[in-house]
Every structure is written in structure tokens, then in C-alpha cells.
Amino acid sequence: MSALTIRPATIDDTPVILRFVRELAVYENAGHEVLATTEHVHHTLFCAVPKVFGLICEEGETAVGFAVYFFNYSTWQGRHGLYLEDLYVAPEHRGKGAGMALLKHLARIAVDNDCGRFEWSVLDWNAPSIALYESLGAKPQSEWIRYRLTGAELQALATAP
């Protein structure tokens, strides 16, 4: 087995990022919800001043997983936080430490950037991921309920008088 390496995603990684995004969505029973295109990835991850960042985990020359993250802000802490939007390891490469390597790398980015928090969401049925996160000492934030506006409802609020 080759050593795992993690590096910042580049524009040349766009096809693998989109493949991993689609595979993750299928795993989460939401494949039909993926709207991202090559143009979206270029416009967001690889623009002049990106607000979201990607990592690629490789074993040798093979991309085995990825993570996408961004910095948020806590007014209570007066510090930035790191929010992990997606972390995915291809099924045939699981069990080799890629997920843990990505989490450790992200934790280092958070510490290096003086972040007060490292946060993410997980589906309530994803028992393997929940067990991993809790083994690290991560705590679920059960007192908070996440809300989302999309599509017509988002447009309606944005254009409301």
C-alpha cells in the first residue's frame, strides 16, 4: 500500500471532485439533488478569491477521497471556525485511514488559522461516521436545529417587499 498524501485541490481535479460529489450524494440517497457542474466548481473553488477550499487525498497517484471546507465565524468566540461541508472516501479505499487523514489535516488547518471550532454535519442514520466522530471526542450539537431555504422559497424571501 502506498502512503496517503493530502494536497490542496487544483482546477485539474474538477472531474474527480464532481465524481466524488455525485458518489457521496448517491450514498446519502440524494443523487438526484446534485446540480453542480464544472463551471460551478471553477467559479467557487478556483476563482480569484475563493471562499471555499478543497483537499484531495491520494494513495500513490490515485485520488481516493476529498474534503471541501470553508471558514465561518463565531460572534461569541470572536474567532473564525472551520466548517467541513463534505468529506468522502471512495468505498474501495475505505479502511486505509484516508478519512482520518483528511480529518487530521483539516484540524491542523483550523489550528493554524486560530479557529475556535471545527464543525460539520452528519446524517442521523450514518452510524459508522457518527461512531468515528464520537471516538475523536466530537460532540453532537443536539440543541441546535439546522434550517435551510432553497429554490422557490429562497427566491420568495429574497424578493419579498
CA gap 116, 74 in Å, rounded: 8
Determine which one of 73, 88, 133, 147 is catalytic. Answer: 133
From the list 100, 99, 106, 56, the residue with the least C-alpha distance to 83 is: 106
Class of residue 29 by CB neighbours under 10 A (exposed 0-12, middle 13-18, buried 19+): exposed
* Catalytic (active site) residue 133: yes
Q: H helices of the chain, where?
A: 14-27, 38-45, 98-112, 127-135, 151-159
SS3 138: coil
Known catalytic residues are 133
